[in-house]
Amino acid sequence: MVSGFSKLNKLEKIDYLVDTCFQGSQRVKSQLKEFWHKDLDAQQIFDEFSENTISNFYFPYGLVPNFVLNDEVKIIPMVIEESSVVAALSKAAKFWSTRGGFHAQVVSTIKLGQVHFIWNGETENLIKFFNANKEKMFAHVAPLTMNMEARGGGLKDIELINLTEQEPGYYQLKVSFETCDAMGANFINSVLESLGQFLKSTIPNYYGFSDDERDVQIVMCILSNYTPDCLVKAWVECGVEELNDPSNGMSADEFISKFHRAVRIATIDPYRATTHNKGIFNGIDGVVLATGNDFRAIEACGHAYAARDGQYRSLTKCSVNNNQFRFEIEIPLSLGTVGGLTSLHPLSKLSLQMLGGPSAKELMMICASVGLAQNFAALRSLVTSGIQKGHMKMHLMNILNQLEATEVEKEIVRKEFESKVVSFKSVREVLEKLRGLH
């Protein structure tokens, strides 16, 4: 056990770690320091993102060119470590660039927060209190919402929710917000805590309550990452004949039939739906990370939305009507383009500049379209050549690096596997033969 660890400086933290876990290894100490940013000012920014930081953990920062969205050509920044995602996205972007590109529109941008509280009394009396004080609640938080209102956002509505059948005395204030181009977490939480204080100070003095009804317990005041009314749609569509592609190894009709069935299976079976939707987030998360947004909140919301009818299902849909193929996604995405890491991380700022300085709504459309593109690429592989052929080709370099292959060995092995299925075992065997070990 260690006391006062947070008060140690970075080098002292590293020394403690190395002495405790790595037998004082100077190699480990040097390795951690090698990943420090050479610019000390930049490193200080990274250090202050979190606590007890000792180094940086790098992820690849890649690009997807030729991405046509709403008739504009974009270069998409991607932060992801998984092999084949960027390659698959690039292929899907190129494929759809000659078929009208991707289309997207924002449905709504409302975000939610909750004041959870316990109050024991007659529900009708609480409803009367709420109706009598709703406007006063808006006035109470006006100093906090004034600046957001000036930008077109603010506090939109407050609802009283009765959940006493599930938990004795349990009620909520369900609060709706518009946060414009900010993700708005700090703004929302500040307003919610102020509303909690309003309840705490007002309920004991309300004339309509009996003595037994003057006690309230504020359990917590916190935003919800489930934002089903912060919703965006994206889609691609083309004539059936435009899906004739010799590389698929099948006719357009057969391809569409298999593709449609694959989506249908992900709608029926939650086991398949989980992997199906994970692939969507391979695309979305890459952009979310590159722009300094919270991928954990985005995923939690998306997965909750996928289960909104009581069963976890695909987030995408496929249809064919009047000889037109259509593939679409509807997904809640609560994103920001100002504040937080979007303003602090140098590469997040660069990503947003690369995307043309998008508004939060525009970033929602970009992310949804990238998620749809990644899902299209994955399904296309699954129903034609299979997922492993392309994936393991991309994974070959990781295997070679893991086996510490030289540049000469890498080139020989790449040629060896141009027409072979890649596996760790087979690559190792080829390397061992090259090295005279087999």
Q: Identify the active-site residue in 361, 391, 393, 395.
A: 391
Contact yes or no for 415/430 (Cβ under 8 A): no
Cα separation, 112 vs 114, in Å, equals 7
Does residue 82 have an active-site annotation? yes
The residue behind tokens 């998409």 is 76
Q: Identify the active-site residue in 285, 294, 299, 328.
A: 294
pLDDT of 408 strictly over 90? no
Cα separation, 356 vs 190, in Å, equals 31
Does residue 294 have an active-site annotation? yes
How many CB atoms are located within 10 Å of the residue 402 CB? Answer: 11
Backbone angles phi, psi at 142, to 5 degrees: -55, -40
Q: Cα–Cα–Cα angle for 190, 192, 194, nearest 5°?
A: 70
Contact yes or no for 348/269 (Cβ under 8 A): no
Q: Residue 339 has what pLDDT?
A: 86
pLDDT of 391 strictly over 60? no
Cα separation, 105 vs 362, in Å, equals 9
pLDDT of 425 strictly over 90? no
Cα separation, 31 vs 81, in Å, equals 20
From the number of C-beta atoms within 10 Å of its C-beta (0-12, 13-18, 19+), residue 210 rates as: exposed
Q: Which CATH class is domain 111-224?
A: alpha beta
The residue behind tokens 């998360």 is 285
Q: Angle formed by the axes of helices 252-268 and 360-383, to 10°?
A: 110
Condensed to tens digits (0 to 9), the pLDDT of residues 126-155 reads 999 999 999 999 999 999 999 999 999 999
Identity of residue 269: D
Condensed to tens digits (0 to 9), the pLDDT of residues 325-367 reads 999 999 999 999 998 888 889 999 999 999 999 999 999 999 9
**Average pLDDT for 374-397:** 79
pLDDT of 438 strictly over 60? no
Stretch (H or E) spanning 238:
strand 230-239
Does residue 91 have an active-site annotation? no
pTM attached to this predicted model: 0.88
Contact yes or no for 314/267 (Cβ under 8 A): yes
**Average pLDDT for 74-81:** 97
pLDDT of 36 strictly over 60? yes
Q: Residue 388 has what pLDDT?
A: 58
Domain ranges of the chain: 5-47, 61-106+233-385, 111-224, 391-434
Cα separation, 438 vs 433, in Å, equals 5
The residue behind tokens 């003057």 is 214
Backbone angles phi, psi at 437, to 5 degrees: -105, 0
Q: Angle formed by the axes of helices 360-383 and 270-290, to 10°?
A: 140
Q: Which CATH class is domain 61-106+233-385?
A: alpha beta
**Average pLDDT for 147-165:** 97
390 pLDDT tier (thresholds 50, 70, 90): low
Does residue 71 have an active-site annotation? no
Q: Identify the active-site residue in 72, 82, 157, 432.
A: 82
Cα separation, 388 vs 391, in Å, equals 5
120 pLDDT tier (thresholds 50, 70, 90): very high
Condensed to tens digits (0 to 9), the pLDDT of residues 257-277 reads 999 999 999 999 999 999 999
What six digits make up the tokens of 41?
């000012």
Cα separation, 351 vs 290, in Å, equals 6
Q: Identify the active-site residue in 278, 389, 433, 438.
A: 278
- The whole-chain average pLDDT of the chain stands at 93
